[in-house]
Chain A
Amino acid sequence: MSQVITKGVLQTETVATEPIVATKKPLAVRIWKERWLYLFMLPGLLYFIIYKYVPMWGMLMAFKNYQPHLGLWASEWVGFRHFQRFFTEPEFGMLLKNTVIIAVLDLLIFFPVTIILALMLNEIRKSVYKRTIQTFVYVPHFLSWVVVVGIFYIIFGTEGGIINAILEKLGIGTIDFLTDPEWFRPMIVLQMVWKDAGWGTVIFLAALAGVDSNLYEAASMDGASRWRQLWHVTLPSIRSVIVILLILRLGNFLDLGFEQIFLMVNALNREVGEVFDTYVYRVGMQQGQFSYSAAVGLFKSAVAFVLVLGANWLAKKFGEEGVY
């Protein structure tokens, strides 16, 4: 109510002091009145236009033969030639397979681990203990991927690595965790879980804190054990949060842990480790095939987009809200 009044006061003031402006379109008046706000917004808007929207426009180079000295416009159009080349490339199948396997492992292992961890933390009633454990499990999230991969290199290395030293003492012998293709995916998943599973509980714990405690009381009155309370009260209450996070994570499906994979891939495990993004970097930045690698990047974004739409459609079909 008071808001309406103050706005009215301000407007009458404008009319009274600047009658010429008031005869113009009201929109122009309103815009002029907020000129300072537009000025504040300007640097941010320029940032979004230059560094976010211009690159989107620059994706056109995937349909051209981009020559840096000619610029985007003057370069010659080649239609879908780069895409055709990519789809017939023998590496296409390998890249698709590696990317999808890592992403699926992420959804099947990382995601459930996060939920289970959140549920277990939620069962602790002593808040000091709970907060201490939370503090511990959040820490790795703030380390950089270089540090995380570096720690793994030191601990799992064959020379002086503590894990291999223990394996040797047990008579198992050394395992080349970091270069053996067999071990690439387990290492990737282990790093993801170690770094981010704890942090991933934050949003679930916030959702769990919002569950009506009357529901638990009613359930225990009806004789529900803690397992049944978990199944019939807790899980249904956070189901929509789980679905939304799952869709959002699918949106990053093909972006997942690029820095991590980039750091873990080496000449020996390339056949299982190379994904779309590392390929884009290798072919585009290192070999200078800009248009071709931009086409690969565009294909990757298109797949990710279809996945989000698909996941959202499925979520709605199962009666959930979805993201949009």
Chain B
Amino acid sequence: MIESRSLGSKIFDIFNHTFLLLVGLVSLLPFVYIVVTSFSATSDLIPKSFTTEAYQYIFSADTFTKSLLVSIFVTLVGTFVQLALSCLMAYSLSHTQLPGRSFFLMMVLITMLFSGGMIPTYFVVQQTGLLNSLWALIIPNAISAFYLIILKNFFQSIPNELKESAKIDGAHELTVLFRIVLPLSLPALAAFGLFYAVGIWNQYFNAILYISDPALYPVQVILRQLIILSSGAIGDSTSIETIPYHGQAIQMAVIVVATLPIIILYPFLQKHFAKGVLLGSVKG
């Protein structure tokens, strides 16, 4: 069949391959450009010399390193909390014989359609005492209804005989969850763990909504002050405008550092999301 392809078909293939290659490059190039020029000493279009000055500068600034620590802490703790809550709830909901199950499922589904909106949610966050605490970056979005449903489907696809036979042998629900269900769901757990981690690391609006103490700002807030407002001072006394060489390299270096965890996680993300998410969501 392939040998008998017509000329038009071949031209189409060449065009298609070339076009997609361009699309791929356009996706990647802006970021590559940022990375390359962040190491450049001059502001020329094509970098000529290599320097890590911008990186030395941002890591010497207190504000930036602190925000980085905030982001790392929130991401680690938050991912654990979110994954734990999601797994426990998804596990319970995966039991089809559980009385009231459809009611609880409906409760979760409704939150995907309706939400209270920014202002009422803000007051709940305030009343539960989360304002100006790092928990405000974790708790108000602790469970994604969408991931929960997929995880539930994933748990449900594990053969019931495995769980039931363990229970007949006297295993506790906890044992079944930790010894049988979770180990079998590792691809899904890895996928959702990574998605949760990326989500917390990237969140920006929750931070400016719920946190007003600059000492608790995550890295995305600092990034915005530095680039988009161009008015934020990264050090305690010096602002970027007073830096002798161009401030753009510093902005680029901040972008690179703020994206680094994603770039490091990406290969894992790539591997797991295909296995974990697509298995769970697009069931055959």
Contacts and interface: CB of A to CB of B under 8 A. Distances in A.
Given A9-B168, A48-B111, A120 B16 contact: yes
Interface string B254-284: 0100110010001001100000001000100
B77 interface: no
Contact of B115 (A55, A151, A202): A55
Nearest to A28: B99
A318 interface: no
Interface stretch (B20-28, B56-64, B183-191, B232-240): B20-28
A4 to B, nearest CB: 11
A44 B143 contact: yes
A80 to B, nearest CB: 17
A201 to B, nearest CB: 10
A95 interface: no
Name the residue in A165, A166, A297, A308 with the highest tally of chain B Cβ atoms < 10 Å from its Cβ. A297
B204 A144 contact: yes
A90 interface: no
B246 to A, nearest CB: 7
Contact of A59 (B25, B100, B116, B255): B116
A34 to B, nearest CB: 5
A263 B228 contact: yes
Nearest to B164: A6
Nearest to B198: A142
B276 to A, nearest CB: 13
Name the residue in B12, B116, B177, B202 with the highest tally of chain A Cβ atoms < 10 Å from its Cβ. B116
Given A142-B266, A143-B202, A154 B248 contact: yes
Interface string B185-223: 000000000000010011111000100000000001001
A55 B121 contact: yes
A153 B111 CA distance: 35
Query: Interface extent on A, as a size class?
Result: 35 or more
Interface in B100-154: 100, 104, 107-108, 111, 113-125, 128, 139-143, 145, 148
B166 to A, nearest CB: 11
Interface residues of B, number: 95
B253 to A, nearest CB: 11
Contacts of B121: 51, 55, 58
B120 A143 contact: no
Interface stretch (A16-24, A98-106, A181-189, A276-284): A276-284
Interface in A141-164: 142-147, 149-151, 153-155, 160, 162
B24 A151 contact: no
A51 B142 contact: yes
B99 A123 contact: no
A124 B88 contact: no
B28 A139 contact: yes
Contacts of B262: 142-143
Contact of A56 (B30, B86, B115): B115
Interface string A28-43: 0011001011101101
A132 B21 CA distance: 9
Nearest to B269: A142
Given A56-B114, A124-B17, A194 B27 contact: yes
Given A37-B98, A136-B27, A150-B228, A301 B9 contact: no
B34 interface: yes
Given A44-B88, A52-B115, A36 B173 contact: yes
A139 B173 CA distance: 39
A203 B146 CA distance: 15
Contact of A68 (B16, B91, B123): B123
Nearest to B163: A6
B48 interface: no
B227 interface: yes
Name the residue in A142, A166, A206, A293 with the highest tally of chain B Cβ atoms < 10 Å from its Cβ. A142
B45 A162 contact: yes
A70 interface: no
> Which 7 residue pairs spanning A and B have beta carbons closest together?
A55-B116, A58-B120, A44-B89, A144-B202, A297-B117, A136-B24, A55-B120
10 contacts: A30-B97, A48-B107, A48-B108, A48-B143, A51-B124, A58-B121, A124-B16, A149-B224, A198-B23, A280-B119
